[in-house]
Every structure is written in C-alpha cells, then in structure tokens.
Amino acid sequence: MWFIVWTFVGYEKPCKHPRISEEERMYIEKKINENTSVISNKLLKTPWKAFFTSLPVYAIIVANFCRSWSFYLLITSQPKYFKDVLQFNINKSALLSALPHLMMTVIVPIGGHTADMLRRKEILSTTTVRKVFNCGGFGMEAVFLLGVAFSQSTTVALTCLTLAVGMSGFAISGFNVNHLDIAPRYASILMGLSNGVGTLSGICCTVTTELLTKERWETVFLIASLVHFLGVIFYGIFASGEKQSWADPTPEEEERRKSLHSIGASMVSAPTTPGKMTSYGATTDSHMYQYGGTIDNNMFQTKEEFVQVEAKGDYLNGDIKDRDM
C-alpha cells in the first residue's frame, strides 16, 4: 500500500512536482541553497569519498544503528516478552502493548517544536540542540532499559519500557534530521545510507535476542542499554549541526547556476523596443527578445507596407466625416 501511494505522490525534486506552489518551491530550494530546477543532473556529482571520511556522517550512522536496535527489539520480541516475563496475553492487553509507542507519539512533536524554538531564538546552536536531544533521548532510554532488565515487578518493568520508548522520541530531533543540517542537498542519500545500516542493526538484534531469550531476558535489555550508551558517546563527540564544506556546490555547478539565473532574469527584465507603427501596417524598427538575447529584424527581408490610409483628425482611420459610417 505504501509503495502505491509513494509512486503517485513522490517526485524527484520540488521543481518536478505538478501541484507545488511557486512560493513553496522557492522556499525549499533557498533552504537547500541551490536552485535544483536549473542545475543539470550531470553536474550534480555525489561526493561519496567525502561521505565515508566525514565523522558527522558516521555519527548519524551510528545513532541510527543504535536507535534501530531497540526499535527492532520491540517489533520482534515485545509480544514474547509480554507473554514470557510479564505474563500478559497480548490479545487481551492491546492497550498495554501499544502504550510505549503511544508515549513516543506524544514525545516526538513536543521534542521537535522545542528543538526548533531553541534554534529559532538562538538560545542554543544547531550542533548543541542536536547533541542535547539525541544524547538526552538515548541516555534516558538506556537508563530505563536497565530498569526493565533488572526490575522484579511487572508494573516497574512495564513503566520503564514505556518511558524508554517514549524518551527515544527526543532523539528524532537529533540524528533523524541531522542530515539536513550537514548536507541539505545530499540529505536523501545520507538518510538512505544511515537507514540501511540501521536495518543491519535489526538483523544483529534479532539474532542476538533469539540466542538469549530462553532464560536471560535481562541480558537482552542490558545489551540494548549498552548499545545506546555507546551511541551517546559517539554522537556526543563527533556530531555536528553545521553544513559541511563538501556539501556546497562545486565551482562548475555554481557557475552553471549563476549563468542560468542571469538568463532567467534577462527574460523577465529585458526592455522592449516598440517599433514605428503606421495604422495597421508592418513595422520597420522592431526587435525580438528571447532569453535575454536580441534578434534584429534585419535578418529577414522586410519592407514598410501600408494596408490602410493614414489616420486623420482624432480618429485612427478616416476623418471626422466618417463618424456616421
């Protein structure tokens, strides 16, 4: 279902979307700091080497790996944990099963608005905001996962699990949008790259959980907690909220953009030179402007020709005696 919807509503660039307003398109392209509608795809070279030698990129990848670990843990093992440890019948405890994700649903928009407010009012820099929300969310999630691992009470375990998943929502305002900070024009590629590694995390987590869940559930959550603590350390040290130098347009791209921009501007602002017009006849002093260039009529064989008599009096055709005609 998602693929079908995405096929019809997703487009490669803002300029190719048939229903986007001009104001919205210009806003997006300005924020990306490039006019994607006038730069040829042949000039947009993906800096793969820069990706794999950039520590801020690795910070995002590591954070995605850590977050995906607990995400896939709950997706694949939460029903089994509820049944084996909490003694809950998942079919009769749907609300309790959904409670952790409902908590995250509330936390994510709160974290997002708070992060944007701190940046907009320049209370904190973008780098600090990303690190505070990501490391804070991961750190609190790790602490509550420890609570799940060592709790002896069903109520405490369920509460810690709910808070752990909920606190992870703050991290969405950290690593999950960090691609747009460090490389706006390559954000989609970086998102795909980090999500790909995150999927590998799901494979590792599933295998590990399967090997340990027979009688050692506390180890499962302990490992998940340690993974998140490692994410806090790595992201806290190497993450950045500043645009990277390799994310700027190359000189060739910038020159091309300026050239096409000047052509577009001349199309709008080029002056027109009205020719001499006698009645409805042809003109002998006209010019045609196209894309900022000038095409003179001298390139065509033309001559002045009258098709009606020259205007007289106050009327264009004929004189005052022709008023009743």
Instruction: Enter the DSSP assignment of 14.
Output: G
- Contact (Cβ atoms closer than 8 angstroms) between residue 102 and residue 74: no
- Contact (Cβ atoms closer than 8 angstroms) between residue 319 and residue 313: yes
Instruction: Enter the DSSP assignment of 234.
Output: H
Q: Find the radius of gyration of the CA atoms of the chain.
A: 32
Q: Which domains does the chain have, with CATH numbers?
A: 57-244 (1.20.1250.20), 251-309 (no CATH)
Answer yes or no: is pLDDT of 277 > 60: no
Answer yes or no: is pLDDT of 274 > 70: no
Answer yes or no: is pLDDT of 164 > 90: yes
Helices vs strands, H then E, count in the chain = 11, 2
What is the model's pTM?
0.72
User: What residues have CB less than 8 Å from 208, skipping those under 6 apart?
Assistant: 220, 223
Reported confidence tier of residue 38, pLDDT bands at 50, 70, 90? very low
Amino acid 2: pLDDT: 84
Tell me the per-residue pLDDT of 58-113, one tens digit each, with 9 for 90 and over.
Answer: 999 999 999 999 999 988 888 888 888 878 776 667 777 888 999 999 999 999 99
